[in-house]
């Protein structure tokens, strides 16, 4: 290579680097301004965080800082000293409904309609079979979201075998046209776990109920990230986990919502002594308790349940309107920074840009997604990926800041741009 060619290449590389540094400085300054104006910024200090950019709250939320001390009391005093007395004196027995009432305002429900306990999968089973039983014998088909989280599909198939129904998978947007007099229940995800697509819960619920069927919603990727409006929109039954945006801890118990107007008819496929009208009567014939309590089964998982109860205190005084506004602002800014930092053609956004169709997650499709995410983790940026080629970034408004967003997009740009230096002369790469 001639000296003139080398000099031109050097000047071009230097110019590109200077332009990139200027763009980065502008983005970082904008992030500082947005963080300074954030009405939820103070909530960040309620969590145990470090220098890692944590964008995987859509899989496991961060630890609220006060939970360890609260759990020490549960273990040392309530369990260690009071022992069996804690079922009454420490309120263990009423925890499933009490904690359900703490979750209720976060999903737009009045008290007395949510019970906490069991896993999401178990609650999907209870809700779906219960919905089919309410619908009656004349309706022999269950509709299920074609792109649903696999377990929901498995459970729908099992529920169909148990109740003598059939299952038909449809895209959520196609549900109104697929409904008929045969439809017993429809199981849908509020936010798609893979793409972050938000579905129209009010319109779909209205269509389902107008057809005489029951709407069952999976809220795992929406509760704690955006308003849901269960009561307002006439949802029949809903389920959700608590370890994502609700920050309840790994494997924290899920919850079941049964609307007040469906509670008397709700016939759980898993009746247990905890949901009996007289639980300590030990009677041989099952008679369900009134209200949401009939969603209980057996002895609740007290340790994880009380950790969840403590974790939910971070929501005191938090407006879901502010949460949604920040969620959209964070994801907007991430997309803006990705456009600025990521080399053209290296990643494709599969999350809707439209606010009305976006949850609190951005999903990007790119080659070697697993290797890309591992390289990001090496830079202190944590998201996750789904086979075969999807990068997922979850934005928890309570503790993710705009500086985190800018740093994550910058790191992604570095990782995806590493191969672009191969055409430069040796010594100018890197």
Same domain, 281 and 403: no
Could you give the CA distance from residue 228 to residue 150 in angstroms, rounded to a whole number?
A: 23
Same domain, 181 and 207: yes
* Beta carbons of 131 and 237 less than 8 angstroms apart: yes
pLDDT in tens, the chain (430 residues): 566 555 554 544 454 455 567 778 999 999 999 999 999 999 999 999 999 999 999 999 999 999 999 999 999 999 999 999 999 999 999 999 999 999 999 999 999 999 999 999 999 999 999 999 999 999 999 999 999 999 999 999 999 999 999 999 999 999 999 999 999 999 999 999 999 999 999 999 999 999 999 999 999 999 999 999 999 999 999 999 999 999 999 999 999 999 999 999 999 999 999 999 999 999 999 999 999 999 999 999 999 999 999 999 999 999 999 999 999 999 999 999 999 999 999 999 999 999 999 999 999 999 999 999 999 999 999 999 999 999 999 999 999 999 999 999 999 999 999 853 333 233 222 2
Q: Which CATH number do you get for residue 11?
A: 3.90.1150.10
Could you give the CA distance from residue 98 to residue 234 in angstroms, rounded to a whole number?
A: 23
Could you give the CA distance from residue 409 to residue 20 in angstroms, rounded to a whole number?
A: 13
- Identify which of 235, 176, 198, 173 has the alpha carbon closest to the alpha carbon of residue 331: 198
Choosing from 133, 194, 296, 392, the catalytic residue is 392
Could you give the CA distance from residue 204 to residue 427 in angstroms, rounded to a whole number?
A: 59
Q: Which two tokens stand for residue 386?
A: 């789904």
392 is catalytic: yes
Choosing from 243, 334, 385, 395, the catalytic residue is 243
152 is catalytic: no
* pLDDT value at residue 145: 97
Chain position carrying tokens 């965080």? 49
Choosing from 118, 145, 218, 384, the catalytic residue is 218
* pLDDT value at residue 418: 82
Q: Which CATH number do you get for residue 229?
A: 3.40.640.10
Total domains in the fold of the chain: 2
Same domain, 137 and 117: yes
244 is catalytic: yes
Q: How many CB atoms lie within 10 A of CB 128?
A: 30
Same domain, 276 and 348: no
218 is catalytic: yes
**Global pTM?**
0.93
Same domain, 293 and 396: no
149 is catalytic: yes
Same domain, 343 and 275: no
183 lies in a domain? yes
* pLDDT value at residue 23: 74
* pLDDT value at residue 181: 98
Q: How many CB atoms lie within 10 A of CB 5?
A: 10
* pLDDT value at residue 427: 29
Phi then psi for 164, rounded to 5 degrees?
Answer: 75, 30
72 lies in a domain? no
The strand ranges marked E within 26-182 are 53-54, 114-116, 141-145, 166-170
Domain that residue 28 falls in: 3-65+319-423
Choosing from 47, 54, 125, 149, the catalytic residue is 149
* pLDDT value at residue 20: 61
Same domain, 329 and 297: no
Contacts 24+ apart (CB under 8 A), 150-155: 151/120, 151/121, 151/124, 152/124, 152/187, 152/189, 152/218, 155/121, 155/124, 155/125, 155/128
């Amino acid at each position: 290579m001639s000296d003139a060619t080398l000099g031109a290449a050097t000047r071009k590389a230097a110019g590109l680097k200077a332009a990139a540094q200027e763009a980065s400085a502008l983005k970082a300054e904008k992030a500082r301004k947005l963080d300074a104006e954030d009405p939820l910024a103070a909530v960040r200090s309620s969590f145990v965080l470090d220098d890692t950019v944590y964008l995987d709250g859509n899989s496991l939320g961060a630890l609220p800082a006060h939970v360890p001390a609260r759990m020490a009391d549960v273990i040392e005093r309530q369990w260690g000293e009071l022992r069996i007395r804690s079922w009454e004196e420490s309120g263990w027995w009423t925890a499933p409904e009490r904690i359900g009432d703490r979750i209720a305002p976060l999903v737009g429900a009045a008290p007395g309609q949510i019970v906490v306990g069991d896993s999401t999968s178990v609650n999907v089973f209870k809700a779906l079979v219960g919905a089919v039983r309410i619908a009656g014998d004349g309706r022999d088909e269950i509709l299920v979201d074609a792109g649903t989280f696999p377990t929901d599909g498995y459970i729908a198939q099992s529920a169909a075998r148990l109740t003598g129904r059939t299952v038909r998978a449809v895209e959520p947007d196609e549900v109104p046209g697929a409904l008929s007099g045969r439809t017993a229940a429809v199981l849908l995800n509020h936010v798609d776990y893979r793409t972050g697509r938000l579905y129209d819960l009010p319109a779909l619920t209205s269509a389902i109920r107008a057809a005489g069927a029951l709407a069952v919603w999976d809220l795992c990727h929406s509760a704690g990230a955006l308003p849901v409006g269960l009561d307002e929109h006439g949802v029949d039954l809903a389920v959700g986990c608590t370890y994502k945006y609700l920050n309840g801890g790994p494997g924290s118990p899920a919850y079941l919502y049964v609307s007040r107007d469906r509670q008397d008819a709700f016939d759980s496929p898993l009746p247990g002594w905890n949901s009996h009208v007289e639980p300590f009567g030990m009677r041989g014939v099952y008679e369900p308790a009134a209200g949401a309590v009939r969603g209980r089964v057996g002895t609740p998982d007290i340790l994880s349940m009380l950790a969840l109860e403590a974790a939910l205190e971070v929501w005191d005084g938090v407006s879901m309107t502010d949460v949604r506004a920040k969620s959209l602002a964070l994801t907007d800014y991430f997309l803006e920074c990705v456009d600025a930092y990521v080399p053209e053609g290296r990643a494709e956004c599969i999350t809707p840009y439209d606010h009305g169709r976006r949850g609190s997650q951005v999903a990007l499709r790119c080659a070697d997604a697993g290797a890309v995410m591992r390289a990001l983790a090496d830079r202190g940026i944590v998201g996750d990926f789904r086979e075969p080629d999807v990068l997922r970034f979850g934005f928890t408004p309570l503790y993710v800041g705009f500086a985190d967003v800018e740093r994550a997009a910058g790191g992604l740009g570095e990782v995806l741009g590493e191969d672009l230096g191969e055409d430069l002369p040796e010594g100018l790469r890197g």
